[in-house]
Structure 1
């Protein structure tokens, strides 16, 4: 009922919280103007409000809704009280939230302070370390300058001593030369004086010697003429002596001619049976000279067992099956004394063509001989004779001969082109003549990187063509493992060489290297193994690490890419030359 009298007796003013708006003063207050006035319990009393309250009370007592009005007033008072309590709780919650926020801000500030202190400590430590390194570098630089200065002084001292020694030696030589010249001059002067004094005696001695020599020569000529004249007259007058002399000269000429021909025939026989033709670079056929020079090597070869044709040769599964069939067929042909088939192997360099040819010969029990096409052209006119010697030598093999011609396109190219000389064309014709029919004595295996340059007659003599392509991922992985074991693991395990291997997963590393070496041939991968071994030998401790392997592989990949760029440039240049030649032929009206 306090609203009836103009003031609220039980109203509580909420406390003032820092950071929150100050609640407005209750209605009817004097505001800021009454802050400095003395407080009195009757200062808020309003007499007119009392009169209004009395009047309202009389009216309320007379009204029939007095009880309801009183209840309504109570409810309003309770509602105001509850609202006031809720506001107080909101202020308390805001105060608590503000305290928590202050604690969080203080924690953040503390963390920032710690981070800043840590950064400053790190920067201070880095700066101190930098200063220490700089001082150390300055000391090293000063020491180096001091050493260089000492070395320069020593060199200057040595140079001064050397110049002094040289000057001394030159002075001594000069004095010796002057003395020698004076001695020679004195001797010459003395000799000239003696000659001048004895000139008449010397001339008389020379004159006597010349007269004696002339008399001796004349008497010798007279004696020789007398002897030869009497002998010739006696020989001519005796007819039996003339006949015997003529017969002896005739027999001597016949003997010399016969010995010459017999020597030539015997030499050719020995060369065909025992020797090795000049065109053959390498052969497994045992010769008498080789048996004398290397008896142990020859004995091992004689008693060696038959090897697998693909031992140490890594090929794709399809190609491996095909060449294995060729090896089995060749071995059975050798056993049954049948006719051998001629094979052409083509593909990029380093893909295993020569290696397989050797393995094929050993597997079939045949001898092998390797010749290169580049050796034929420089022989000129002797090429025909040398080619016949090769096939004559091949026909004398008791075990059968596998004749492997590497770089065969160097001399078996088309005869219609202008690039081939007359001598090379004659050699090619001799080759075609000796290979016109299949033989049970020798087997022809050709290898080429450009088989399209072969003469058509050569293609007609080929029975089977095998393409040796670059190794795939699986083949490269097998090759990497093969050469890693051959050049690194095996020497390291034997302990005979200065080579060790660091600890890492070898199988995983070989798989990674197989992926990196895409496009490389088997020969390039084998050179990688040799490069790893050389890297270990070049290190201080002889240990091959994974980083050293990666460095050698990266270098090999860079070189391989450079080679491929050169090959592309060469191909473009060849296309330009071919187009220019074709255009020239068209302009001249001649066939291309």
Structure 2
């Protein structure tokens, strides 16, 4: 329909409908270009009346046509459809632009996140690198400090060694000069004395001759006088039979009196020593004696007031061990009551686990006297050890109430007789001990205590009826011990108010449980000393108040000291094991070199020790 309005078919309307078609250029050739362009412009804006006429004619025909209205509506619909498509494209374009913006924002955020991650990673790596540098710098400083300390220590040691060498050289020089001076002085004195003697030799010889002559005359006169007197007396005595009989009777009575007095004196001395005194080997005893009462009256009066009590009162041990010891206490008490034969007991285990304490309480519980001796006192006695052992057992056998003889550190003199460390005197003392303990006794009960029972002689083990091991306290036992000693050394003195001791407010039960966990491996004696350390810490404070932190600090120090002792003990055991191995190899090599003994008896020593096997270590190793 565009031709109806004067438009050509080759001219298209713009999409927005706002632009007009450019007029076609006028046809023609030649002439001036300016004129041509002017004419073409005029021709473009010249009104075409024929076209208008044709349009009017077409409009009339259209109005006259039956489909004019439908055609108009169709054109409107086409135009609306084009507008909608255009708007849809615009919206699609806008949506596409928004999506591009969102994608761009997402990409920006992702880039920022990656950038932050990378910065964080770089920061961490930088921090780690700086930390490594600081650690390495600190280690280098420590190494330099250690080198400087070692160098200073080396210089100090060299200085001390030089000073010691100079001191030794000075002392040696002084001794040498003093010796030379003494030698010169002595030489001068001897020369002077020799010179004087040479000058006075004739005078001395003359004096010696005169003295010898006078002595000879005096001796001869004395002999003559004594011979004449004795001869006259003997002649008168031999001619008078009454004098002879009286002299013989007097000599006989004198000899009888001398020997009788000597025997009576020995018997009385043994009786007094057995009844009134105590042997020198006994360190402590509850047995009543007049001499001990005179020496220690207050202690003996306190002992008389002691009443039989529970054998395990105040002793904290493992439940199974307590049950076994209670059975031993009941059996010992009934043995004492029924006058039966006592059993010998060995108590072994680490030091400070309550062996001596239980032995004393066992004697008091059974109504017996106790006596404590240590094995270390026997070895220094030498030859007197045999006599001292017999005195101890004679004294123990004279007890009317029964005696519990407790030997602490018994392995000091009851070790194997085949050992090289035991001498002849100690071996004889051990034989005396084995002789006196060969049979069961109703007078005394033997209780041995040792930390190393494997060193006992085989015959000593044969004398033992029961062996009880005292181990280190466990967690529950340590809790009971800590509570016991905390109450004894801290709470009771604090409640009395007589001492400069107070306790801060904190949970005592929780503290005791914590302390029990910190004292793993410690013995009862060490925990008791820890209680004394708490008390001393309160006394050392300014206000005399014991705080929780003070208790923890003292416990930590005690735990460190205990660990140090354990380390020392392990090192000592290693050295002893190496020494034992060395001596064993040495003995084996000696046996291999010597070969079997010529007499065919094995070379072992047989001293009546209940047939102890392997008395000769060389034969046993062979």
* Distance in 2 (alpha carbons) for counterparts of 1:289 and 1:81: 131
Aligned to 2:472, the other structure's residue is in SS state coil
Q: Does 1:278 align with 2:280?
A: yes
Describe the shift of the 1:311–1:81 C-alpha distance in structure 2 as closer, same or farther (beyond 3 A).
same
Q: Aligned-pair distance for 1:423?
A: 1.4
* Distance in 2 (alpha carbons) for counterparts of 1:81 and 1:578: 106
What residue in structure 2 maps to residue 138 of structure 1?
none
Residue deviations 1:217-264, cap 9 Å, x none?
Answer: xxxxxxxxx9xx99x999997978998788777756654543343222
Aligned residue runs from structure 1 range 42-57, under 5 A: none
Q: Aligned-pair distance for 1:311?
A: 0.8
How big is the alpha-carbon RMSD for the aligned residues of Structure 1 and Structure 2?
3.9
* Distance in 2 (alpha carbons) for counterparts of 1:452 and 1:383: 23
* Distance in 2 (alpha carbons) for counterparts of 1:539 and 1:451: 44
Residue deviations 1:183-223, cap 9 Å, x none?
Answer: xxxxxxxxxxxxxxxxxxxxxxxxxxxxxxxxxxxxxxxxx
Q: Does 1:69 align with 2:78?
A: yes
* Distance in 2 (alpha carbons) for counterparts of 1:461 and 1:560: 35
What residue in structure 1 maps to residue 177 of structure 2?
none
Aligned to 2:310, the other structure's residue is in SS state coil
Q: Aligned-pair distance for 1:5?
A: 2.6
What residue in structure 2 maps to residue 341 of structure 1?
343
* Distance in 1 (alpha carbons) for counterparts of 2:15 and 2:533: 107
* Distance in 2 (alpha carbons) for counterparts of 1:285 and 1:554: 43
Q: Aligned-pair distance for 1:418?
A: 2.5
What residue in structure 2 maps to residue 545 of structure 1?
547
Q: Which one of 388, 402, 405 corresponds to residue 404 of structure 2?
A: 402
Aligned to 1:466, the other structure's residue is in SS state strand
Describe the shift of the 1:574–1:295 C-alpha distance in structure 2 as closer, same or farther (beyond 3 A).
closer
Q: Aligned-pair distance for 1:79?
A: 6.7
Q: Does 1:422 align with 2:424?
A: yes
Contact 1:236 1:242 in 2 (8 A): no
What residue in structure 2 maps to residue 375 of structure 1?
377
Q: Aligned-pair distance for 1:81?
A: 10
What residue in structure 2 maps to residue 176 of structure 1?
none
* Distance in 1 (alpha carbons) for counterparts of 2:300 and 2:372: 18
Give TM-score scaled by structure 1 length. Answer: 0.62
* Distance in 1 (alpha carbons) for counterparts of 2:551 and 2:261: 66
Q: Aligned-pair distance for 1:579?
A: 1.9
What residue in structure 1 maps to residue 455 of structure 2?
453
Q: Aligned-pair distance for 1:73?
A: 6.3
Give TM-score scaled by structure 2 length. Answer: 0.59
Aligned to 1:65, the other structure's residue is in SS state helix
What residue in structure 2 maps to residue 438 of structure 1?
440
Aligned residue runs from structure 1 range 521-532, under 5 A: 521-532=523-534
Aligned to 1:420, the other structure's residue is in SS state coil
* Distance in 2 (alpha carbons) for counterparts of 1:426 and 1:78: 130
Contact 1:309 1:359 in 2 (8 A): yes
What residue in structure 2 maps to residue 128 of structure 1?
none
Comparing 337-346 with 414-423, greater Cα deviation is found at 414-423
* Distance in 1 (alpha carbons) for counterparts of 2:442 and 2:585: 48
Residue deviations 1:160-179, cap 9 Å, x none?
Answer: xxxxxxxxxxxxxxxxxxxx
Query: Which protein shows a greater Rg?
Result: 2
Describe the shift of the 1:243–1:351 C-alpha distance in structure 2 as closer, same or farther (beyond 3 A).
same
* Distance in 2 (alpha carbons) for counterparts of 1:581 and 1:557: 36
Contact 1:349 1:449 in 2 (8 A): yes
Contact 1:235 1:241 in 2 (8 A): no
Q: Aligned-pair distance for 1:305?
A: 2.6
Comparing 299-308 with 429-438, greater Cα deviation is found at 299-308
Contact 2:534 2:554 in 1 (8 A): yes
* Distance in 1 (alpha carbons) for counterparts of 2:501 and 2:247: 80
Contact 2:346 2:449 in 1 (8 A): yes
Residue deviations 1:257-308, cap 9 Å, x none?
Answer: 4334322211210111221111111111111123345555434433433211
Q: Aligned-pair distance for 1:453?
A: 1.1
Aligned to 1:291, the other structure's residue is in SS state helix
Describe the shift of the 1:572–1:82 C-alpha distance in structure 2 as closer, same or farther (beyond 3 A).
closer
Consecutive unaligned residues of structure 1, counting only runs of 5 or more, are 8-46, 91-225
What residue in structure 1 maps to residue 18 of structure 2?
5
Aligned to 1:482, the other structure's residue is in SS state helix
Q: Aligned-pair distance for 1:406?
A: 0.7
* Distance in 1 (alpha carbons) for counterparts of 2:341 and 2:256: 46
Q: Aligned-pair distance for 1:316?
A: 0.7
Aligned residue runs from structure 1 range 286-305, under 5 A: 286-295=288-297, 297-305=299-307
Q: Aligned-pair distance for 1:539?
A: 1.8
Q: Which one of 513, 516, 525 corresponds to residue 515 of structure 2?
A: 513
* Distance in 2 (alpha carbons) for counterparts of 1:496 and 1:441: 46
What residue in structure 2 maps to residue 259 of structure 1?
261
Contact 2:307 2:364 in 1 (8 A): no
* Distance in 2 (alpha carbons) for counterparts of 1:432 and 1:412: 9
What residue in structure 2 maps to residue 332 of structure 1?
334
What residue in structure 2 maps to residue 535 of structure 1?
537
